[in-house]
A and B are shown apart, each in its own frame.
Chain A
C-alpha cells in the first residue's frame, strides 16, 4: 500500500513536475528558434561588413532561452538545462554548426546560470540578475567562438576581443529584455504555476 499525502510545500531549490514541463516547453521553442536563426542568420552579414567583429551583436538571439528560463522557472539549473536542450534540438533539426552547438549550449547555459546564481542567489530575480545572466552567457559565447572553437582564425587578437565585447553587449541587452518579458508574461497570469508568477509586482531589484 502506497500512500501519498498533500504535503508541505517544496523546498525553494527543488524542481516540481510543472517546472520541468515549463522548462521543456521553453527549450523546445528555443531550439526551433535557434534552428531558424541558424538557417537564416547569414542574411544579416552585410550589416556587419564594415567591421566584421560586430557580428557578435546577434549573440542575444542565441542566449535568450537560457536567461528567460532562469528568470521564469527560478530553479537552479533551469538556465543551463534550457540552453543545452535547445542546442541539442538545434543540432537534431540540422545545423550548419553541427555538434559544436552542444559545446556552445553548455558554455552559454553555464554563463547564464552563473549570472543568476551570483546576482540573485535564486532568491531575487531583478533587472540586475537578467543583465548579469545575459552578460555572462554572452561572454561565454564570445570566448568560446573566439578562442575555443576558433570560428574566426582570420581575425587579429584585438578583433577577437572586440567580437567578445560585442557578444557580451548584445547578450546584456537581451538579458534586460528577458527580465521585461518575464514581467509581461507574469502579468497575463500564464506563469501562475511557477515561481515567477508575481514578477510583474516586483521592484526593479526583484524584491
Chain B
C-alpha cells in the first residue's frame, strides 16, 4: 500500500491521500457503522486517478525475456477495469508496476549481466486530480501475507495511519470499512490470527477502503472466498468504488462475477485482456507476452463470438463456457474398498494436546462426522469461509489431532503402519499413504528447485533412486513444469506453484489425496490440466478429499458433496 512513485522514494507529501479532510461528520457514530460507511464514502470528492501506459513493459530481475511488453493503454478517472488473461500473461506484474512496487536498480557490469534488477520499459504515468499524486491501495492474491497487525481494528487502521489521517477520522473509517466488507460484527480487538483465509481477504479490502486511495488495485480479491462471500464482496467493491469515484484495476480469472452481477448493480466498465503467445503454456520459455488481445465494454466483447473464442483459447473464464477436458467421458474408479473412516470425528482449528482427555476443553469447529471414504472416490467439502472445512481436511489427513472421536485408517490404507490412526502415523508412513496439498502452495515448498521438490517425499519414503527419477520426470512432463525444472519453487507463477504442490503430493503415490482449494487462482487452461491430472488419479483408485468453492471442479470429478455448516458435515445432492 504505497504511493505510486516509480522513479523515486515516496515522500511524505506525495503519499498523503488526495482527501485527508474530515468526511463523515459527528453523525457517523459507531453504533450506525453501515450508514457511517456510506456517508464517509460519499464525503470523498477527490475522484480517481488516470493511468497512461505507452510501450510499457517489465523484465523481471535476472530474466532475459520481458513478462509484459509493448502495452499502450489509457484508463480514465473513475473507470473500473477488469484485467484478465492466462497464467503468466503478466497481470500481477502490471498491478505491481501500477502500485509502484517495481523499482529498477542500476544495471550491473557487463560480465555479470544476469544479475540485473527489474527493468521497466517504455512509459508509465499515473496522474491524480488537483496536482497530487493519487494514493494507491493494493490488495494482493494471498491474504496471509497482508495481515500486518494482531487485532483487526489496528490492521485496518494501519494504512490510514501511515497516510497521516486524523486519529478520530481513522476510527470512523475503520468501523465503516469493516462493516462494508461484512466484518462489522467482530469487535475491533478481534485477533486477526483467528480469521479464516476468506475473512483475511475481506480484512485486506477493509484496509484499502480505510485509506481512500484514488487508485484501487485488486489482485484476485475473491479467489479465496465462498460463492456468497465473493458476490457480497464484489458488490461492496463496485458500490464503494463508484461512490468514491475511484479508479479500479482488478485482476480476476472468472469474469461472470464482475461482468454481469445478478443483483442488478452495474458490473465493471471495461474488460482488458492480456495474452501470451502459445496460449499460456510454458510461460517461462517460448511463451512471452502478447500484449492486449481484447479491450472494451464487457457486454460488447462477450457478445462477439470471435472474441469469445480467442478469450477461451487464452484460458480466460468466459461466462457460460466450461473448459474442455481432454478425457471425457470420465468414470470414477471406485471399487468400494474402504480407506478411511471417521467415527464421531470433531475437528478444530486450534493445535490440540497429545492426550485425548486434555482435548475435551476445546470446542471443535466441526463435530460428529461419521463417514467412510473408499478407493477411487472424490469428495468435495463445501461451505462458507470459516466453517471449519480446512480443519476437517487437516484432521482427515492426519496432520491435525482429532478434537473428538477418531479417524480410522482401514486395512487398505493402513498397509502395515504401526497404528490405525493417521494422526499417529510417522512422517514416512503418512507421506506414502495420504498426500496433502495446502491452500497456499508456498507453505509446502522445502527445497530449492522444482525437480528436488518432486523428489523430496518419495526419497524420504525410501523409494529407490531410479524409481524416484522416473516419477519425477513423468510428473514434470504431465504438470508442464519441464521448462522450470531447475527454478526455485518460490519464483514460479501462481498457477505453476499450484501444479507443483499437487505434483509433490502425487510423487509419493498416496492412496488418499487431501486438497485445500486446489483450483484457486487457476486460469481455464491450467484448471483443465489440473482436473485431468486428478481424474487420472481417481480413475486409478486414489481417493480425493478436496476443500473447494469451485462447483465446476466438483462436477468434473463427479464428486460427492459434503456441506460443512454450523459445526456439522452433511452430504448434499449435487
Which residues in A have some Cβ–Cβ distance to B below 8 Å?
1-12, 15-18, 20, 187-190, 192-195, 197-198, 201-202, 207
Closest 6 CB pairs of A and B: A198-B115, A7-B7, A6-B120, A9-B104, A192-B61, A16-B103
List 21 interface pairs A-B (beta carbons < 8 Å), by A numbering: A3-B127, A4-B6, A4-B133, A5-B7, A6-B6, A6-B7, A7-B7, A9-B104, A9-B106, A10-B103, A16-B103, A17-B5, A17-B103, A187-B448, A192-B62, A192-B491, A193-B61, A195-B105, A195-B117, A198-B114, A201-B112
Q: Which of B106, B111, B122, B491 contacts A10 (CB 8 A)?
A: B106
Closest Cβ neighbor of A192 among chain B residues: B61
Does B182 touch A at the CB level, under 8 Å?
Answer: no
Does B353 touch A at the CB level, under 8 Å?
Answer: no
Per the bound structure, the CA–CA distance linking A201 and B109 in Å amounts to 13
Per the bound structure, the CA–CA distance linking A12 and B117 in Å amounts to 12
Per the bound structure, the CA–CA distance linking A190 and B61 in Å amounts to 11
B121 / chain A contacts, CB cutoff of 8 Å:
6
Per the bound structure, the CA–CA distance linking A9 and B448 in Å amounts to 30
Per the bound structure, the CA–CA distance linking A57 and B140 in Å amounts to 45
Per the bound structure, the CA–CA distance linking A81 and B111 in Å amounts to 31
B125 / chain A contacts, CB cutoff of 8 Å:
3-5
Interface core residue of A12, A187, A194, A197 (most chain B CB under 10 Å): A197
User: Cβ of A4 and Cβ of B4 under 8 Å apart?
Assistant: yes
B2 / chain A contacts, CB cutoff of 8 Å:
17
Per the bound structure, the CA–CA distance linking A8 and B101 in Å amounts to 15
Per the bound structure, the CA–CA distance linking A16 and B101 in Å amounts to 10
A197 / chain B contacts, CB cutoff of 8 Å:
61-62, 115, 117
Give min CB distance, B284 to chain A, whole Å: 13
User: Cβ of A5 and Cβ of B9 under 8 Å apart?
Assistant: no
User: Cβ of B490 and Cβ of A190 under 8 Å apart?
Assistant: yes
Interface residues in B, total, Cβ within 8 A:
44
Closest Cβ neighbor of A13 among chain B residues: B106
Closest Cβ neighbor of A196 among chain B residues: B115
B128 / chain A contacts, CB cutoff of 8 Å:
1-2
Assuming the contacts A197-B62, A198-B62, asked whether A8 and B117 have C-beta atoms less than 8 A apart, the reply is no
Per the bound structure, the CA–CA distance linking A6 and B126 in Å amounts to 10
B115 / chain A contacts, CB cutoff of 8 Å:
197-198, 201
Does B56 touch A at the CB level, under 8 Å?
Answer: yes
Interface contact tally, CB-CB below 8 A: 103
B488 / chain A contacts, CB cutoff of 8 Å:
188-189
A201 / chain B contacts, CB cutoff of 8 Å:
112, 114-115
Does B188 touch A at the CB level, under 8 Å?
Answer: no
User: Cβ of B9 and Cβ of A8 under 8 Å apart?
Assistant: no
Per the bound structure, the CA–CA distance linking A194 and B108 in Å amounts to 12
User: Cβ of B112 and Cβ of A198 under 8 Å apart?
Assistant: yes
Chain B binding site: helix, strand, loop or mixed by DSSP? Answer: loop
B114 / chain A contacts, CB cutoff of 8 Å:
198, 201
Closest Cβ neighbor of B4 among chain A residues: A4
Given contacts A2-B133, A8-B104, A197-B117, 19 further A-B contacts (CB under 8 A): A1-B128, A2-B128, A3-B125, A3-B126, A4-B125, A5-B125, A6-B122, A9-B117, A10-B103, A10-B104, A15-B9, A17-B9, A17-B101, A18-B103, A188-B448, A192-B60, A195-B105, A198-B62, A202-B112
A189 / chain B contacts, CB cutoff of 8 Å:
488, 490-491
Give min CB distance, A196 to chain B, whole Å: 9
Would you list which residues of chain B between 31 and 73 have a CB under 8 Å from chain A? 56, 60-62
User: Cβ of A2 and Cβ of B132 under 8 Å apart?
Assistant: yes
User: Cβ of A4 and Cβ of B126 under 8 Å apart?
Assistant: yes
A9 / chain B contacts, CB cutoff of 8 Å:
104-107, 117, 119
Give min CB distance, B312 to chain A, whole Å: 33
Closest Cβ neighbor of B125 among chain A residues: A3
User: Cβ of A20 and Cβ of B9 under 8 Å apart?
Assistant: yes
A188 / chain B contacts, CB cutoff of 8 Å:
448, 488, 490
Closest Cβ neighbor of B121 among chain A residues: A6
User: Cβ of A2 and Cβ of B131 under 8 Å apart?
Assistant: yes
Closest Cβ neighbor of A186 among chain B residues: B115
Assuming the contacts A197-B115, A197-B117, asked whether A6 and B491 have C-beta atoms less than 8 A apart, the reply is no
Would you list which residues of chain B between 59 and 101 have a CB under 8 Å from chain A? 60-62, 97, 100-101
User: Cβ of B106 and Cβ of A6 under 8 Å apart?
Assistant: no
Give min CB distance, A125 to chain B, whole Å: 12
Give min CB distance, A73 to chain B, whole Å: 11
Assuming the contacts A10-B105, A189-B488, asked whether A1 and B112 have C-beta atoms less than 8 A apart, the reply is no
Q: Which of A1, A2, A16, A187 contacts B105 (CB 8 A)?
A: A16
User: Cβ of A2 and Cβ of B491 under 8 Å apart?
Assistant: no
User: Cβ of A16 and Cβ of B9 under 8 Å apart?
Assistant: yes
B131 / chain A contacts, CB cutoff of 8 Å:
1-2
Per the bound structure, the CA–CA distance linking A18 and B99 in Å amounts to 13
A2 / chain B contacts, CB cutoff of 8 Å:
127-128, 131-133
B9 / chain A contacts, CB cutoff of 8 Å:
15-17, 20
Per the bound structure, the CA–CA distance linking A207 and B112 in Å amounts to 8
Does B10 touch A at the CB level, under 8 Å?
Answer: yes
Closest Cβ neighbor of A200 among chain B residues: B115
Does B118 touch A at the CB level, under 8 Å?
Answer: yes
Contact mask B1-28 → A, CB, 8 Å, 1/0? Answer: 0101111011000000000000000000
Does B124 touch A at the CB level, under 8 Å?
Answer: yes
Per the bound structure, the CA–CA distance linking A53 and B112 in Å amounts to 44
Give min CB distance, B147 to chain A, whole Å: 16
User: Cβ of A5 and Cβ of B112 under 8 Å apart?
Assistant: no
Give min CB distance, B321 to chain A, whole Å: 36
Per the bound structure, the CA–CA distance linking A187 and B488 in Å amounts to 9
User: Cβ of B106 and Cβ of A5 under 8 Å apart?
Assistant: no
Give min CB distance, A13 to chain B, whole Å: 9
Q: Which of A4, A6, A192, A198 contacts B108 (CB 8 A)?
A: A198
